[in-house]
Every structure is written in C-alpha cells, then in structure tokens.
Structure 1
C-alpha cells in the first residue's frame, strides 16, 4: 500500500497543474509552485528535470505509487511487445484502484485505494482488497452489496465532474463495471498532459 503522508494537492502545487481536473485543486487559484518565491521560479528545466517531472506527475496521478513499485511496472512494460510507453499506461490502467476510480465508484484515486483496501470491491464475485491487483479483459468489478448505500459511492456516481471511459462498461444501477479492454494512451482521460515517453527516457538513462 502506498503511504500518502503529504496532502494530495501538494502534487498539483508542485507541478503547477490540476492533474486530476478537480475543482478543489489549489492550482485553480494559485497556478504557481508553493513557497515564498513560487511566483518567481521560471528557470528552464534540464532534460533530466523534464523527465523527472513527467515521472513524478504520472506516478502521483495514480495515488503516488511507491517508487520501487512504479519502477517495477516500468520494467515489466519493457519486457512486453510493442511501444514501452503504451505498455506502461496499459499496466497502470489495469490496476484495480484505477478501474474503481474510472468507473466513478469513488471521487478520487486516493479514495479508490482506501475503498479497495477496506474490502468494498468484488472482482468476478470475489472480494479483492489489493489495490494493485491487475484486472484482465472481461473482469467484472462491482461494489459489494453492503457498501452500495455509502454516500461516497452515491455522490461519485452522480457527479458530472468526469466521464467513464469507453474501455469500461458501466451499469450504474447495479454498481457494476466490466473492464472490456486494455486502453491505448490516447484513450485514457487524463485531465492534464501526461508524457509517458519521457518516463521511459528517465528510466532508460
């Protein structure tokens, strides 16, 4: 389980972007880095800095996955056929907490991590409490019956803040989603620009 010690929106402030597209993001009011000299920091990043920033943003987007785990996902992507950056995104989107978030069962990816950990999610009828569990095409992910009246779930499903992507088939009344296929990078609805190619460059140095 990833340890989220700092306030999640600090990632937004550090990056100067609203990476989840949330109305509560402080970047909506203060689009510059934190600190006394935040507004004056406009130095050009080196190639390494640009790659590091892309890695931090993508890693942070998925609930700030631990570095060791994120690096292992990258190495797994390199062993698969095809474009490594596409494989990396595919592996990240197959995480159970990511699918729960995409299906709008919860409002944030951090809530998805906790929701899965607490045993509120079933995969193909069986309880799975591991956020990094890797979903397969055709897997049915649903909210456990006892958890379907939770205000968190009801509010998230009714929210117009984001849409369910095409690679997830959702039945909101049954609170059931089917992971139909592994998406390509272009299909993933990121609120901010992600650059997985730079993440690949960072790790392949």
Structure 2
C-alpha cells in the first residue's frame, strides 16, 4: 500500500481550488497557498508551470497515485487508439478505487483505495485488493460483508454531498460499471485539463 507523502488538503491550497469539492477543504477559508510564502503575489506562470500544475491536480485528485503509476497510465493511454487525453481519463476512471469512489462506497478517493486494499471489495464475486486493477464495462463491484458494516461506508452511501454518475449504476451494496466515460461525463468539482497533461509528458 503506497503511503500518502503529503497532507491531502495541501494540494487544494497549492492549486487554489477545492479539488475534491469537500466542505472541509481549507480553501473555503484561506485562498492563498500553504507555507510561509503562500501569500506572496503570484508571478505569471510559464507554459511548463501550467502543464505541471494540470498534471499535479489530476494525479492528486485520484488519491495516492505515485508518479510511476501515473506515468504508466499515460503510456497506456498513448498506446490506445483515439484521443490520448480522453484515453487517460477513461483509464483513470476504470481503476477499481475510482469506481468504488464513484459508487459512493467511500467518502474520498483516499478512503476508496484503503477499502480496496483491505479486501472489502468483490469484483464479479471475487475478492480484489488491488486499487489500480482496471474494471471493464459490465463488471459488478460489490462490498464484502465486513465492508457493509463499516460506519465510513454507511455514511458515504447515505451522504447527499454527491451522486453516482451515469456510467456507474448502484443498487444497494452493488455497483455495475456501465461504460468508460468521456471527460465531460466525469463529475470533477474543478476543471481538469488532461490535454495539458499530455503536453507535459510529450515534451
């Protein structure tokens, strides 16, 4: 299990945006960046800086995804037919942890990854504890018996903070991955720019 290397809400403040759309986000109170230089006047960002920022924001949104894992997803998106930026989003949304989060089985992408790693998720009736495993359209993702009793899970399912998107249908403790979404179907709370991520890696 990869270890979170920095405080998750520091990303919000560094980006100046509420990346996960959470009410607890410090950006709701302080719009400047973290650290002693956070309140400095911002200088104009270079093209490289803009691309790097887009990459850090997209990577950070999906929880504890390492740079190595993210680069691997990008390489796979390049190999696939079609638009690379759309392929990248499709692959990220096919990750098991992402589907668990979209199905509202967890309150955050970080919690979704943990629930998968601890063996509380079944894919087509078989236990899967690999958060980065890719789900296919038609696959059924289900909470195990212990997962169904977890307070964290029950609170997430009952929360009105967000809804499951159209490409994931939920029926109680079961969810079906209907199709691979396009960028405009993914309910990001902030604007994501995968085209800039593609530019960053293809330099």
**2:149 partner SS:** coil
Q: Give the distance between the partners of 1:41 and 1:113, measured in 2 at CA.
A: 36
- Residue 43 (structure 1) aligns with: 43
- Residue 68 (structure 2) aligns with: 68
TM-score by length of 2: 0.98
Please list the CA deviations of residues 20-62 of structure 1 after superposition, one character each: whole Å capped at 9, or x if unmatched: 0000000000011112332223111100000000000000000
Please list the CA deviations of residues 91-145 of structure 1 after superposition, one character each: whole Å capped at 9, or x if unmatched: 0000000000000001000001110000000000000000001000000001002
How far apart are residue 6 of structure 1 and its match? 1.6
Unmatched runs of 5 consecutive residues or more in structure 2: none
Please list the CA deviations of residues 44-90 of structure 1 after superposition, one character each: whole Å capped at 9, or x if unmatched: 11000000000000000001411111011101101111100000000
- Residue 197 (structure 1) aligns with: 195
Q: Give the distance between the partners of 2:94 and 2:133, measured in 1 at CA.
A: 8
Are residue 29 (structure 1) and residue 41 (structure 2) matched? no
Superposed counterparts of 1:7-22, under 5 Å:
7-22=7-22
Q: What RMSD in Å do the two structures reach over aligned CA positions? A: 0.9
Contact 1:139 1:179 in 2 (8 A): yes
Q: Give the distance between the partners of 2:35 and 2:146, measured in 1 at CA.
A: 45
- Residue 100 (structure 1) aligns with: 100
Contact 1:2 1:63 in 2 (8 A): no
Are residue 188 (structure 1) and residue 186 (structure 2) matched? yes
- Residue 158 (structure 1) aligns with: 158
Superposed counterparts of 1:49-88, under 5 Å:
49-88=49-88
